Structure 1
């Protein structure tokens, strides 16, 4: 089939009207490439979609490409494999390393949560079951194929599909993905980082494309300008909480956010702005990811001024065993605990919240965007109680939100990224944002850049002909 008669469509199967569940199916002349395979998180109506049959047979998906290793972009992959997908999974080397950690942890937590629900009787499934298992993950990992940044890779000779990865500056290994074929091109922004990431090399501008799919997590807002000394809100929370004998609990994404928080605490300690209290990372996944980040320093993937200094904290401790984790539910002295997940949707942090939230001496520091329907969002909005493991827990601890930690591009960052693309796109399709956020960014792109921009809907199909 020639370029003039080729047909191509995009089908938005996730991250449309929400910030989670990223899945976009590109179909070119009958061949299919799934860009991201993420889990839905947050509101129950979205989470239930994880259990629905995939809209197309997984056996008919020819390949997957991952923009990065966050669970809402790669976490559905084992379920896809279990249902018959057997093609290659294309990504950068650091995405592969981190996704291996993230997926194994996800399966372990799902199996653990299912077992806990069976004992306590609060699951809608009888018996409770995980979405996928560790075995499903192990069957997925051999499918990964790695590509380097800034190089063209032929991923489907049948229709000439080529993929190019460009640094997105969101987390280690994150990429914007350019897909080209004879007769068309689509650029997927993936999750974009801020212009100046506190730990990573900055993002690059990829080649332009006929159609661009851009995220809009912060599409209707701007990050606040630094007010005084950097991270002062965190420093003040640590000083105030430790002075009253309490614990600072920092729910943080295991990948990237933990590294950024540790780097901030390192800077604050060196400057004498916080006391020398123990800092404990209580997340096996976060500790594994930290090792990957430290290894990446030697390959030039971190900021040059941070090489050899990432998480330079003499007071840093690691909680690896279940017993060590349980002991942190009732710390014997003031400390800072960093534990995943960042939106408090699962993991060890939920157990800490259950024990620490009822005590007014303690503080919970939220370190970034909290999706609608998550416990983190409820805490940010001032909830007086939150539900965990089927029970309501009173919120008496102080809750502080520190926006400096977000490494998502804000509205102006997103706009400048689109404006820098050469050639300019014919159409900009806005996804990965709550409805108001996506519409706000689309409107700005239309009004300020003069481009056709649309906030896409879940399940929408868009033609992407040349």
Structure 2
């Protein structure tokens, strides 16, 4: 092979923040992009989605995705629109869910631009979407699927292997071999056990590791009774005649919420009330999970994913709007999980002012999102150009998180056949990444760094 044999790694996203995962590996003129995520949360981060990509899109040879979530996949339509015409490698589960996620994101981008135009929210004339549904479809046509634990030869001594990460359906850690160099990207790591999926696999050997740190400075607390804060919130809210609103990501989180509600109902811990799934994307994702069960992707001891006799689907906009004034106490599960967009926003607008109602948060809430503001005790929320008072009860059920905590992240590194020589800590708020790097340095005994945005390093 001709050219410089050294391998360079550039951190193009997910540094100092928990979104926007984008990592570029370069060797002898070839470029491999691991993840292609959107920035979410605070406006300063979201603005980065509009900046030109650091390298021309048509100079990238391959893209590989760790999983389907927007902060790892949501920039793909822009990359393809701007000239990327290579394959996008991923597992079958990731392909099924990412197609749903990107189509929905394109639709929301178009809708938000239309709303901004009609309501005069934007400083731009006319306001344009970041990308369209047509852009998303062009990206989806680049998908190439590969099974777990099968090496894909990308040519010229470059290859990738996807290892089960146990975070969401199809999620993988990515092992890249580039000549003699081996780099392992954790992606988002699941916990040692997942409520419905097969557990994560032990990591392969690599001298360099790029690891997430969403929960890099904290530990999950195991309750005596599973999801009891959620169950108690349902009981209280129904007694006072209110509605329980559950902002939940359409992919994976809605499935876990419905599974938990099924368990609570079976155990007699909540009353039998109507449960509405108000997210077309979540309903489509449920179908993907159903197919995954027959393919052996779910836990072998899982008998039923969802068993709720009074489960209803709100498919049309009219059915969704009707839930703003439900006829009787009920539970509404609606996307998005951080209340940053989607149908849940208009539910919040109508339900937050009534103290009979309750909002149950079901996982990590990024800084700058409405979910984080509710979590931090906000008394007003701005949505659709107006402030809405927060009188409803807000409950945080952290048990739904399927991100590994600090000990589980360090434990995953400890499972490697040989300790790594360098670990780069990414995909976390700055304090979480630094805390995890300190702990890895102390317990694993290797170089551990929280890289700067745009930093470039050489890989052995």
TM-score by length of 2: 0.99
1-side partners of 2:125 and 2:166: how far apart? Answer: 43
Instruction: Provide the residue aligned with 1:412 in structure 2.
Output: 407
Instruction: Provide the residue aligned with 1:205 in structure 2.
Output: 202
2-side partners of 1:193 and 1:354: how far apart? Answer: 33
Report how far residue 432 of structure 1 moved. Answer: 0.3
Instruction: Provide the residue aligned with 1:26 in structure 2.
Output: 25
- Deviations 1:146-176, CA, capped at 9 Å, x for gaps: 1100111102x1x211111111000000000
2-side partners of 1:236 and 1:380: how far apart? Answer: 18
Instruction: Provide the residue aligned with 1:281 in structure 2.
Output: 277
Q: Does 1:188 align with 2:185?
A: yes
Instruction: Provide the residue aligned with 2:13 in structure 1.
Output: 14
2-side partners of 1:123 and 1:274: how far apart? Answer: 44
1-side partners of 2:106 and 2:141: how far apart? Answer: 16
SS of the aligned residue for 1:263 comes to: helix
SS of the aligned residue for 2:123 comes to: coil
Q: Does 1:390 align with 2:385?
A: yes
Instruction: Provide the residue aligned with 2:77 in structure 1.
Output: 78
- Deviations 1:377-423, CA, capped at 9 Å, x for gaps: 00000001111122111111000000000000000000000111122
Q: Does 1:217 align with 2:210?
A: no
Instruction: Provide the residue aligned with 2:344 in structure 1.
Output: 349
SS of the aligned residue for 1:36 comes to: strand
Contact 2:358 2:393 in 1 (8 A): yes
1-side partners of 2:127 and 2:179: how far apart? Answer: 48
SS of the aligned residue for 1:463 comes to: strand
2-side partners of 1:81 and 1:126: how far apart? Answer: 25
SS of the aligned residue for 1:33 comes to: strand
- Deviations 1:214-265, CA, capped at 9 Å, x for gaps: 0000000001121x21111010000000110000000001110011111000
2-side partners of 1:7 and 1:69: how far apart? Answer: 31
Aligned counterpart for 2:253 among listed residues 257, 278, 297? 257
Instruction: Provide the residue aligned with 2:229 in structure 1.
Output: 233
TM-score by length of 1: 0.97
Q: Does 1:431 align with 2:426?
A: yes
Aligned length: 460
Instruction: Provide the residue aligned with 1:272 in structure 2.
Output: 268
Instruction: Provide the residue aligned with 2:56 in structure 1.
Output: 57
Report how far residue 181 of structure 1 moved. Answer: 2.3
1-side partners of 2:18 and 2:379: how far apart? Answer: 25
Instruction: Provide the residue aligned with 1:66 in structure 2.
Output: 65
Q: Does 1:177 align with 2:174?
A: yes
**Correspondences of 1:278-357 after superposition (within 5 Å):** 278-307=274-303, 309-357=304-352
Report how far residue 305 of structure 1 moved. Answer: 1.8
Contact 2:336 2:342 in 1 (8 A): yes
2-side partners of 1:199 and 1:443: how far apart? Answer: 32
Contact 2:203 2:413 in 1 (8 A): no
Instruction: Provide the residue aligned with 2:161 in structure 1.
Output: 164
**Correspondences of 1:33-48 after superposition (within 5 Å):** 33-48=32-47
Report how far residue 94 of structure 1 moved. Answer: 0.7
Report how far residue 129 of structure 1 moved. Answer: 1.2
2-side partners of 1:110 and 1:344: how far apart? Answer: 15
Contact 2:7 2:459 in 1 (8 A): yes
Report how far residue 2 of structure 1 moved. Answer: 6.7
Q: Could you list the runs of 4 or more consecutive aligned residues of structure 1 that deviate by over 6 angstroms after TM superposition?
A: none
- Deviations 1:187-213, CA, capped at 9 Å, x for gaps: 000000011101100000121111000
1-side partners of 2:128 and 2:306: how far apart? Answer: 37
Report how far residue 29 of structure 1 moved. Answer: 1.3
- Deviations 1:58-117, CA, capped at 9 Å, x for gaps: 011111100000011000000111111111000001101100000000000111111111
Instruction: Provide the residue aligned with 2:439 in structure 1.
Output: 444
Instruction: Provide the residue aligned with 2:109 in structure 1.
Output: 110
Report how far residue 125 of structure 1 moved. Answer: 2.3
Report how far residue 124 of structure 1 moved. Answer: 3.0
Query: What stretches of structure 1 of length at least 5 have no aligned partner?
Result: none
Aligned counterpart for 1:368 among listed residues 345, 363, 370? 363
Instruction: Provide the residue aligned with 2:98 in structure 1.
Output: 99
